[in-house]
Each structure stands twice: as C-alpha cells, then as structure tokens.
Structure 1
C-alpha cells in the first residue's frame, strides 16, 4: 500500500510537507491483526500512535470483576494512541482488540517527536483528543442515565440501520451485547426478551427481526 497517498487524503496529515510524509512512510510499522488479536492490552505501557488502514479495533475495558465493556470502536481512518505516548510509564486503561482482520500503521513517540515539535500535527492531535473526550462523555451519560433496555434499543437500531432488511443475523452473542451496553450477560438476555415480549422484535435462534421500529426508536430515546 502506498502510504504517501493515504497521508495525502487524510486530514490529520494535511499540515505535513511532502518530505515529512515521506519520513513517516519510511518509519511506519505496518501490522496485520487477525480477528480477536490484540494490538495492546490493558495495563501495558504502550508509547505508540496508530492509524487504521482497514478493519476495526475495539477499545475494551475490563472491570476488577472481569466484566468487559466495549468503550468504543475505531474504524478505517481512525487514529488513536496509548497514554504513554504522552507520559512515560502511564498504563493503557483499555485493551485494543481487532474484531475482524485489520491492518494498522504504528509509530513510536520518538519517531513522531520531530513533527510534533513543529506544531502542525500537534494541533491536529489536540483536536482529535477533544473529539474522543466528547465521545467518551456521550458514553458515560448513556451508562449513567439510560436504563439497560434503552441502551439495548440503541444498539439494535444501529444494527438494523446498517441493512435494509427487517431481519439481521444473530452475529452478536449475549456476551457481545453485554459488553457493548455495559451490563451482564443475564441482564442482556432479559432485556432482549423484554423487547420480544412486547412485540418490538422477534428473537429466533439465528436472527433478530424488527417488528415495531417506532417503539424501538422511542425506547432508545431517539427523535
């Protein structure tokens, strides 16, 4: 893959001169990840920044009880970093796990230091940090103020909106659903069948069928 062309079309790298883009391409580490392979794990001191070329990476937080929460999903074109990229010895608060075959480009802090010192991509990085803070704030508000059924309804709406069919395959396990809405497997199961009992969805062994979209929207708190 021609990384220079990737940099040219990506807003994060827009402030860079051509020789700086060439420098980044020379020092890039391209890594391919299989599904469920970790780029880095919670607790690592990981002083790197990565760009996703293709695929997806989930940020997974595991509680002291061992319960996972998928904090966010990074997709093609997204950039993220470990806390140790800015402050040495700070541990990664989440694990970074590929949920499908994924290709990333990685740079160390020492590699990017000369470019950050000039301020161009430093400002772009600050803007990215603001976007991620706002994204985290939305997640916290949902976890704190929305009941589990509302969070489940929102998750289902996102999946139904990705297809024109009223039926979607059950690719998400109960554990997957629980990790995405911040609850336990048992509560996720009860919430799923709560929606089924009210004829909002139909749950079969292989698929979920949307019956009443308006009720699902109202339950999710959408307008």
Structure 2
C-alpha cells in the first residue's frame, strides 16, 4: 500500500475526471491526492466483496476490473467493466454502508482508493462537494431506473442494442477484447447462446459488422429503433 506523493499532470487529470471532484480547484485536487491509497491487484484477484464493509471510492488507474453480482446458484451478472479513469463504490464512500456489489480485476490493475473517513474530511473542508454528491447520486438513481426498464421489458436483442449504443467508443466501435460474449451475456442477464443469436440478427439486419478485434456499428438509428 502506498500513497501518491507527487501531484503531477496524470494525478490531477484522473482526480478531476471524477464527477465528485470536478468543482475543486488545484488546492482541492491536491487535498484529494493526499488522501489516496494506491493498491495493486493481479488478474483474477477479488478487490472487494458484496456485503463486506465498504472501503471507499475506487478509481481504476491501470488495467481492467468488473463490477458484478453473484447469484445463490453461482451465476455471475456483470454490471460494469471499469477501465482507466472509471470509478465505483461511491455510495459506500458516502454512507458508510457495505459494498453493493463485487469488484474483481480482469487484468493486472492499479486502483486508487479514497476511504469514507477521507471523504468525510474532504466534505468538511470543501462543503461544495455535498451538492455535487447529491446531484451525482440522483443521476445514478435515474440510471438504475432506466436499467431496470431495459432488463424488465426489452428482448435480449433490444438489450444488446442498448448495450452496443452505450458501450461503443468513437461512436461506432466496440472492442471485442474488452467485452467477451460470455461477459456480455452476464451483463445482459442471459446466456451466451442468446447473445450469439442476437448478434446474428443485428448483423443480418445490417446494423453491425464484425472484424477480428472490433464490432462496428453501421446503423445507430436502426439500433435505437430496437431500443
């Protein structure tokens, strides 16, 4: 476990990329940097478990992690993949409650942690953080409501279309190494065979195309109509 001692350009950029800290000036961002704990994880290592006491906000600096639930039957449901600059567990960092899900490293990863005690100190030192936190948690609640609708009312093909629109980068491309078909199935709450079938439907409709490393979105409007 180490604590960053340098407030360099990368540190400033990563911290200011977290919505909760975007309103802070350089002095405020430097205060956040002083609270950061750096942790390193190997591929496959569990970072935290659902239901355990929350350790605070986690920000991925290097590598890749997955946020997921595990059913009593051992079935995995992936909520999000977290790459560099992505963060999670902000609710536990604010309310002090248990971890709402599991986090594991898919690749060797470096993660920054801001504990609840650190968040409390920062909120006292910078009261403007409280309004920012309320607004961001409200947006998070809206996202959850939309996700419940997606899972409850859309077909697997509709869920897949929504997933492609949300996760594609550069507007038109999804990295096939970042999301395997098994991981997509776990994220959508279905099985791999259904994902393969839905991909085939979208490809035959001319909405997407595959190459070795990427899924290219050819018709965003067509995907939106399915959703």
Question: What is the TM-score with the length of structure 1 in the denominator?
Answer: 0.72
Structure 1 residue ranges without an equivalent (≥5): none
Q: 1:151 to 1:131 in 2, by over 3 A?
A: same
Q: 1:31-70 alignment to 2 at 5 Å? A: 31-70=39-78
Aligned-partner SS, 1:127: helix
Aligned-partner SS, 2:74: coil
The count of corresponding residues between Structure 1 and Structure 2 is: 218
Distance 2:22 2:177 in 1: 41
Q: 1:71-150 alignment to 2 at 5 Å? A: 71-81=79-89, 83-88=91-96, 90-118=97-125, 119-150=127-158
Q: Does the 8 Å CA contact 1:51/1:105 hold for their aligned counterparts?
A: yes
Deviates more, 1:41-50 or 1:20-29: 20-29
Structure 2 residue ranges without an equivalent (≥5): none
Q: Does the 8 Å CA contact 1:7/1:14 hold for their aligned counterparts?
A: no
Distance 1:114 1:15 in 2: 16
Q: Does the 8 Å CA contact 2:68/2:78 hold for their aligned counterparts?
A: yes
In angstroms, what is the RMSD of aligned CA positions?
Answer: 3.8
Structure 2 match to 1:177? 184
Following superposition, the deviation at residue 36 of structure 1 comes to 3.4
Q: Does the 8 Å CA contact 2:63/2:107 hold for their aligned counterparts?
A: yes
Distance 1:130 1:75 in 2: 23
Distance 1:159 1:188 in 2: 15
2:160 corresponds, among 149, 152, 155, to 152
Per-residue deviation, residues 105-149 of structure 1 (Å, max 9, x unmatched): 112212232222342222222222122222222221211121001
Q: Does the 8 Å CA contact 1:82/1:92 hold for their aligned counterparts?
A: no
Determine whether 1:188 maps to 2:203: no
Q: 1:169 to 1:61 in 2, by over 3 A?
A: closer
Distance 1:52 1:16 in 2: 20
When Rg is computed on C-alpha atoms for both structures, the one with the higher figure is 1
Following superposition, the deviation at residue 183 of structure 1 comes to 0.8
Structure 1 match to 2:225? 221
